[in-house]
Amino acid sequence: MSPELLRPSARRRPDLIPAFVRAVGAARASAAAAGRDADLAVFDADGTLWVNDVADDFTQWMIAQGRIDGARWPTYMRIYRDDPPTGCRYLLSFFAGMTLAQLQASVDDYWSIHPRDWIEEVLQALYHLADAGLSIWVVSGTPTDFLLPLQRILPVDQVVGMDFALDSRGQITGEHAGISCAGTGKAEKLELLAGERPIRFCCGNGSLDGPMMELAQVAWSVYPNPAFTEHSRQRGWPILPRPADFVEEEKFLLED
């Protein structure tokens, strides 16, 4: 039996919904009345839905628990510093030799004891757009399997991330399968899987999210660093600024 997962509050806070998010929800209501399929609302995960970084936090927890070998952690951080998409792919190598069932059991253990530091404004936007009838997708450079619990604690219809390649015995090889879901690969994978469905809304927090945010009719920049703040302003995207007590995750400090 899977452990009980830690959930965010499901309480709705209409006072936190920006006007542009309300407009997206209202447009979906009109589309639904016309009988059109659900439009997509897309959310990045780490740094956007929450401040913490699940990819790193879960991997370090697995190392601390002795479930995987952490000798190459400094190598991973150097690779991520120099080339974040390559770093996202390299992280998969820590889990080589596990089966997806073994990994998922550990993922559930992690999500049952480690709370997320949710960004409340984004969480409320997700609830609002789900209630309005949009299909909620989470698209991330984090491995898909790390984020699957989201479908059990939030109204998330699809999780799109970095996928593990498996060998003939069903064990993780340490390589990625399919499109590398980081940077421009996020946009490529989202566009492929979305097909003809319109991407009405997308929010992200940094340069790795920029290409997929370009696909949306409405994009929202969440807690961006100074460089991505300027990029967002140039694109005309609304910005949720960082609070005064904001502390950047080490991983995101490495990004431009």
**Confidence (pLDDT) at 256:** 45
> In the structure, what pLDDT confidence band is assigned to residue 244 with cuts at 50, 70 and 90?
confident
**Nearest-angstrom CA–CA distance, 53 and 69:** 19
236: left (phi > 0), else alpha (psi -120 to 50), else beta?
A: left
Strands 239-240 and 158-166: unpaired
pTM: 0.93
> In the structure, what pLDDT confidence band is assigned to residue 247 with cuts at 50, 70 and 90?
confident
Per-residue model confidence as pLDDT tens digits over 211-230: 999 999 999 999 999 999 99
**Nearest-angstrom CA–CA distance, 61 and 212:** 30
**Nearest-angstrom CA–CA distance, 209 and 203:** 8
Q: Specify the CATH number of the domain 14-253.
A: 3.40.50.1000
Residues 6+ apart with CB under 8 A from 169: none
Q: What is the mean pLDDT of the chain?
A: 93
The residue ranges of every structural domain in the chain are 14-253
DSSP notation for the chain: -PPPPP-------GGG--HHHHHHHHHHHHHHHTTPPPPEEEE--BTTTBSS-HHHHHHHHHHHTTSS--TTHHHHHHHHHH-HHHHHHHGGGGGTT-BHHHHHHHHHHHHHH----B-HHHHHHHHHHHHTTPEEEEEEEEEHHHHTTHHHHS---EEEEEEEEE-TTSBEEEEEESS--STHHHHHHHHHHHTTS-EEEEEESSTTTHHHHTTSSEEEEES--HHHHHHHHHHT--EEPPPTT----HHHHT--
Per-residue model confidence as pLDDT tens digits over 113-159: 999 999 999 999 999 999 999 999 999 999 999 999 999 999 999 99
